[in-house]
Structure 1
Amino acid sequence: MRAGLKQQQLADKSGVAVRTIGRYETRAKSVPKPDTVALLAEALDLTPRQYAELSAAAGFPAQEAEPRPRASRVPHRHGDRLVEAAAQLADEVGSRWRREEEQRKVHSAALPVRWRTSEELSDHWENVDPARAEPMDLDADLEQIVDVYRGVPTGRLVVVGRAGSGKTVLAMRLVLGLLEIRETDGAVPVVVGLESWHPDQDFRTWLAARLLRDHPGLGEELPDGTALAAALVEHGLVLPVLDGFDEIAAGLRSDALGRLDDASRMPLVLTSRADEYREAATAVKPLTGAPCIELADLAPADLAGYLRRTARKTAQGVPLWQPVIDAMREPRTPAGETAAAVLATPLMLVLARTVYGGTANRDPAELLSTADLPTPEAVEAHLMAQLVPAAYRTPIEGRGFDPARARHWLGRLARHLDRLGRHDLAWWELGASLPRGVRALLMALTIGALFTAVDLALVVVRFGFDPLTALATVAVDFGAGAAFGVAHGLLAGRRDTALAPSGMRISLRGPWRRRNLKRRFMIGFAGGFLLGAVSIGVRDIVQGIVYGAGPFDVSALVAFDVPAFGAAVGLATGITYAMLSLWERPLDFQSVPSPADLLKASRRTALAQALVFAPVLAVVVPGTGWAVVQVLQLLPLGEWRWTFEFGLTVGSYAAFMGSVGYAIALTAWGRWLVFGRLWLPLLGRLPWAVPAFLDDAYRRGVLRRAGVVYQFRHARLQSHLSGTRDDQA
């Protein structure tokens, strides 16, 4: 009162939640922490005497009344860089979620999402706040989520609710609200889906890896070799908002909750379906220090108000949804009871608005047909089935897809995700649901066909068409393609995981990065040796058969050529791969705000790497071959010759095939090119314009973005489109 500030103004200046200030003012909470008192004193600009009075009123002894400067939250020798990186991360997260909020039209007609405190699923209140033993009153609505969270001393909160109750939207609003009041060195709230985490993985390591995937700019290494992403997590500059605890496999949830409990008591927010969290919490215990709030169903009055505000009117001036609203009023009809049960979740309410809100020939009164839609499950299935036709009934920016074809392709994508066991639709994983052997075969056929087309054209232009020469050329080129196909399959590793974008760009500016040069050389040498040995071995065998050479001569040629040529290619690729590490730089912040931007960045990186490979291979491979021939001439093994023209041919062949094969078979962009843009459209599983289709589905509200990946609007929609029941998903 003396300062002339309202509660909200004081909250904005101090960083203390307005709900907490209100409780102090009404003495509903009379034991504030010393740090809270210090924040209030700083915001009120109190004199030492006034500070002592405030501290005394808070119940602290006189010796604790001296103001104390707040210690840095980042006690690290690279603290300034971490604070700067956190600020960049906060800008990027805020920008992404504001765009997502606009896309989802969250503010166009806000839903009255409310919740109540769940005593059953909350931890002991003494663990939440040692200064109190009575339960906390956290009942509120969506506009108060930031105040509710900041009123929890541990910084831990669990949000539960049934499917479609608005948990993800609540997480989004919490993140944007916390970013608005974030201090310079405060933690950055980041929404992360939990489905890909296995309890065997260290949680912090996994979290850092997810940050790197969605924010490649955090791949920068500090002088001590630590990546920015790992350093931000380690020093508490990331607040994980973990969405979808229920999406972890059922048999792993108890272990997962226990591992989260052991994560050094780090602040976090966890969302889950109520039953799944209850089962895990019963098996172990609720998350330590975390109160739990449970989202409530929408009341009939809320439904009526929302539908009346957001729907068009009929020609008679009556709200379109008036028959449904009347049926849901007391006393309800059986059909009104069913409609109220279905529309009680924000997901189904928004789906119903989408299905019946766009054209004049759709009447929501059909939801009241007890003959066609007798149960809530039938109504929900009806809304799910009508979403895609409703979303695709009008073109967007002059572009449109046939609804039936769009439904087919979306179903294919949904089944692809089901086979992978996840909800993140990543462009670099298209094709990952195919068996590894099939992928390797398709990759070998693609590269072999490309090499053959180019090689045959050059041979015909230079020497004319000769059947034997053409046969040898085809065999050699498909042998090289097979080598790249095998390398592509081996690159997936034991877990058969898709090759993810590196998050790096090639730049000749800036200081060289001299880390892991030996390891990079060994990896490059091993891969190059395999490719070179297989290619030259196939060439020698095929040419020996075509030109009638004896088995002894062919064997001798293979015995010398394979190690020599393999070593030549291995040396070239090892040197090049090590050189590339000198010029790799993390992608800039704000450079990949969407999946399409990451695709473009990955394409630029792959092509730049290929351009570096080409000249090195062109020089090192023929140079090594010439040196080997000089050694062989000293041995009694027949006549060996190496002409300049032959060396030029070998160098050109190695430069083209090595660089192109690398870009296609051994990069995330190349994998996308082969499967996402060629084979899957060729097989009818995707449209030819895949990026345009995904972006169009996003604009129509069928897909949503989560960082650099897409997701279906809701997990239930994915299950419906894939033809899988919810309990089997």
Structure 2
Amino acid sequence: MINNFFRPAVVLNGHGSQAEIHHTTVTITESELDRAANELADAVGKHWHTEADSRGLLKSQVPVHWQVSRHRLTTRVAAAMAERGPRRFPPLPGVAPVTEKSLRAGGDLTDLHRVYGGLASGRLMIVGPAAAGKTSAAVVLLRAALDHRANPARAPYKSGIPVPVLVTLDGWAPGDERKDVVDWAVERLSREHKGHRYLRQLLDTGRIALFLDGFDEVGEEVRALAVAALESAPFRVVLVSRTEEASDTAGRELPAGAVALELKPVRPADAAACLLDSLDDPAPAAWQKLVRQLLEEPDSAVAGALADPLTVSLLVEVYAPDGPVEKLFGLAGPDAVRDHLLDHAVAAAYTRKPRPRGCRPYSPETAERTLRHLAARLTEEDTRELRWWRIPSWPGRRSRAWITGTAVTVVYLTVVVLALAPWIGPLWAAGAALMGWTLGTLDAGIRISRLHHEKQLTSAGWRDVLPLLAITGGLFDWITVTGLTWLVLRFAGHPQSLLQCCLLGLPYGFGGVLLRGRAADLVVRTIVAPFPLARFARDMIPELETETRVLGPRDVWRHHTRMLFPLGLLAGGAVGLYAGGLAAMSNGAGFGLALGVAIGSGHALIAGVLSNAAVATALTAVQLSVREGTPLRLMTFLDDAHRRGLLRASGPAYEFRHVRLQERLARRP
């Protein structure tokens, strides 16, 4: 059964649902939707367990409390309750409705789920100043919501418990009338959560709850439009934002029925207890002095700095139990203490003993030099997200393109001349190579220009790139083309053996597999599939048929290195096999093999090397290593920094642990 609040685009009953999507009616049973929601919940749970571990959220946390915000972020608390008005969302199974009295009483992070699950408006905001732990609070709430859903006692009611999904607002244009909030959410979730065919239906029926981080990082006009768009969203929404930006937006257009919970400063007693828990008993004299100052002098610089959980955790990480913590006593002001700890965070992460599992022995100097360069680049681009496939667009790409293009050209010309010279002579072979290189330059230019596209091709694995439907269709194409070729040649008076016809049809079969899968761009400008088929090829791509998973930066990297690279080489091989097979029919197998190698190598180099973002990123890393002294294997370093807690994963992109850390690193010479 569905609430009246939900849009009529999806109508559920006991048997199934009908969803109108792009003028197409799709019938889906409730069991299919429930199964899709369960698969998504499993994938999100695995991802955020790993990410929470890397952020230190599975260990003992600094106690953080919240209260209803007093910054004009909520018109009337009662408007969000069902006590005096209609209920937009029923309370989640096992959660009591939130009352105004219980809400105003406040609570800690463990109480967030009580508010989230029992709020009648389904609109919750988590706000606070910088470094207050807002994103960590959202992750804690998300994991609590997943645990609540996974509780065996809730099994009969799972369809009424939405799957929480945390994303950023990046890429949303709420003023675009052609794309509403559900359209944007479907597009965003499709990029980061692979393996789903029913994302729109799950959103329309409230089986997904969106946790939107970074509300303060978009423009003021966009925030206002986003608030208006989210009011009609048919799912629960949790917004995470700094208090100041949220107040500026709310001053113009208050979110209807939203309740803003503001994270309070860490209590001195809680911070002191957290510090003492990390020390041996008895604590060193300098630490005892710091704890006393924290408890007895609430106006001191140290007490002011330790009012947020980030600084408390940094203090524990930067100074070991026997570290020179007395250096903090001479600093003037809380900001000076925070900056001092942030300036030592990188060195502490790379000198920490024992080293986190899976981490490599980078020197602190190399790590800081690399992170400074990355922070400066992100700050210059006015972004927090480090998308590795954007790295090749940084300064120096023109020289790299020339070097790469020259190297590929030399390899191609050498292969062509060596392959064809014994058959047509060196001069004719060189002429053929130059002609092929000229024709391939346009294709290479088009592919290289797409290297830095914001929406890189991502997948959940081989079964996504080459689904069973694509393989079946490719086999059908192969058999059909083989049979037709055999019949046409026989009736034309040039009969060929069935084996030779199979070889001629094989490239069409392989091209059919790629066209029906998610690697269509590898073949849409080849002999097997000419350029006009590009749009048709994309329309043929089927829905995902693979296991659901949340994509991280390493997943996208593996997609380009382990799948797109070999597929590009195979696409070149298919073109070479086609051209070589035709040549062999009239000029013999030897010449056919030579021509196939000559033509196929060019396509393989373009599809597998020049147009591969991972190859371009690896070459850029070499440039940076020579010029900036960064590690040669940059992606390995980024993964290492993530394991050490300096970076965090936000979908397929990396981010610095905190925006202030990025700012400090970017400013340092």
Task: Letter of the 1:255 partner, please give it.
Answer: L
Cα distance change on mapping 1:413 and 1:467 into 2, 3 Å: farther
3-state SS, counterpart of residue 321 of structure 1:
helix
Q: CA RMSD in A?
A: 4.2
Identify which of 362, 371, 378 aligns with 1:417: 378
Contact 1:456–1:470 (CA<8 Å) still a contact in 2? no
What are the within-5 Å matches in structure 2 for residues 380-391 of structure 1? 380-391=338-349
Identity over aligned pairs, percent: 26
3-state SS, counterpart of residue 241 of structure 2:
strand
Contact 1:414–1:719 (CA<8 Å) still a contact in 2? yes
Question: How many angstroms apart in 2 are the aligned matches of 1:399 and 1:137?
Answer: 49
- Confirm whether residue 596 of structure 1 aligns to residue 571 of structure 2: no
Question: How many angstroms apart in 2 are the aligned matches of 1:275 and 1:583?
Answer: 45
Question: How many angstroms apart in 1 are the aligned matches of 2:114 and 2:55?
Answer: 24
Give the C-alpha shift of residue 175 in structure 1.
0.9
Contact 1:504–1:584 (CA<8 Å) still a contact in 2? no
* Residue equivalent to 1:695: 639
Question: How many angstroms apart in 1 are the aligned matches of 2:543 and 2:629?
Answer: 36
Identify which of 654, 661, 665 aligns with 2:606: 661
* Residue equivalent to 1:161: 128
Contact 1:452–1:478 (CA<8 Å) still a contact in 2? no
Contact 2:193–2:549 (CA<8 Å) still a contact in 1? no
Contact 2:182–2:203 (CA<8 Å) still a contact in 1? yes
* Residue equivalent to 1:189: 164
Task: Letter of the 1:155 partner, please give it.
Answer: G
What are the within-5 Å matches in structure 2 for residues 68-217 of structure 1? 75-76=17-18, 77-78=27-28, 79-119=30-70, 120-132=72-84, 135-138=100-103, 139-182=106-149, 183-185=157-159, 186-201=161-176, 202-217=180-195
- TM-score if structure 2 supplies the norm length? 0.75
Cα distance change on mapping 1:355 and 1:341 into 2, 3 Å: same
- Confirm whether residue 430 of structure 1 aligns to residue 416 of structure 2: no
Question: How many angstroms apart in 1 are the aligned matches of 2:533 and 2:251?
Answer: 56
Give the C-alpha shift of residue 594 in structure 1.
4.1
Identify which of 301, 304, 325 aligns with 1:364: 325
- Confirm whether residue 710 of structure 1 aligns to residue 654 of structure 2: yes
- Confirm whether residue 229 of structure 1 aligns to residue 199 of structure 2: yes
* Residue equivalent to 2:498: none
Give the C-alpha shift of residue 319 in structure 1.
6.2
3-state SS, counterpart of residue 392 of structure 1:
helix
Contact 2:210–2:237 (CA<8 Å) still a contact in 1? yes
- Confirm whether residue 323 of structure 1 aligns to residue 319 of structure 2: no
- Confirm whether residue 617 of structure 1 aligns to residue 583 of structure 2: no
Task: Letter of the 1:382 partner, please give it.
Answer: H
Question: How many angstroms apart in 1 are the aligned matches of 2:618 and 2:460?
Answer: 18
- Confirm whether residue 281 of structure 1 aligns to residue 250 of structure 2: yes
Give the C-alpha shift of residue 585 in structure 1.
7.4
* Residue equivalent to 2:334: 376
Task: Letter of the 1:390 partner, please give it.
Answer: A
Which deviates more from structure 2 when the two are superposed, residues 107-116 or residues 88-97? 107-116
Give unpaired runs (5+ residues) of structure 2. 4-11, 19-26, 86-98, 150-156, 475-511
Which structure's CA Rg is the greater one? 1
Q: What CA deviation, in whole Å up to 9, does each residue of 1:673-709 have, x standing for no partner?
A: 4445x44445437421223212211121111223333
Cα distance change on mapping 1:589 and 1:651 into 2, 3 Å: same
Cα distance change on mapping 1:319 and 1:295 into 2, 3 Å: farther
3-state SS, counterpart of residue 430 of structure 1:
helix
Q: What CA deviation, in whole Å up to 9, does each residue of 1:477-510 have, x standing for no partner?
A: 86567435421354369xx535342556343734
* Residue equivalent to 1:28: none
Question: How many angstroms apart in 2 are the aligned matches of 1:569 and 1:440?
Answer: 29
3-state SS, counterpart of residue 66 of structure 2:
strand
Cα distance change on mapping 1:233 and 1:104 into 2, 3 Å: same
Task: Letter of the 1:116 partner, please give it.
Answer: Q
What are the within-5 Å matches in structure 2 for residues 623-662 of structure 1? 648-662=593-607
- Confirm whether residue 721 of structure 1 aligns to residue 665 of structure 2: yes
Cα distance change on mapping 1:90 and 1:283 into 2, 3 Å: same
Give the C-alpha shift of residue 203 in structure 1.
2.2
* Residue equivalent to 2:456: 499
Q: What CA deviation, in whole Å up to 9, does each residue of 1:365-419 have, x standing for no partner?
A: 21110xxx21222222111111001111145557311111111111222233334
Give the C-alpha shift of residue 351 in structure 1.
1.1
3-state SS, counterpart of residue 400 of structure 1:
coil
Give the C-alpha shift of residue 656 in structure 1.
1.8
Give the C-alpha shift of residue 274 in structure 1.
0.4
Question: How many angstroms apart in 2 are the aligned matches of 1:427 and 1:524?
Answer: 20
Contact 1:342–1:379 (CA<8 Å) still a contact in 2? yes
Cα distance change on mapping 1:614 and 1:249 into 2, 3 Å: same
* Residue equivalent to 1:57: none
Give the C-alpha shift of residue 665 in structure 1.
3.3
Question: How many angstroms apart in 1 are the aligned matches of 2:187 and 2:444?
Answer: 27
Contact 1:448–1:480 (CA<8 Å) still a contact in 2? no
What are the within-5 Å matches in structure 2 for residues 302-313 of structure 1? 302-312=270-280
Aligned residues: 580
* Residue equivalent to 2:214: 244
Cα distance change on mapping 1:99 and 1:585 into 2, 3 Å: same
Contact 1:610–1:662 (CA<8 Å) still a contact in 2? yes
* Residue equivalent to 1:539: none
Give the C-alpha shift of residue 597 in structure 1.
3.4
- Confirm whether residue 349 of structure 1 aligns to residue 308 of structure 2: no
3-state SS, counterpart of residue 569 of structure 1:
coil
Q: What CA deviation, in whole Å up to 9, does each residue of 1:540-560 have, x standing for no partner?
A: xxxxxxxxxxxxxxxxxxxxx
Cα distance change on mapping 1:514 and 1:208 into 2, 3 Å: farther
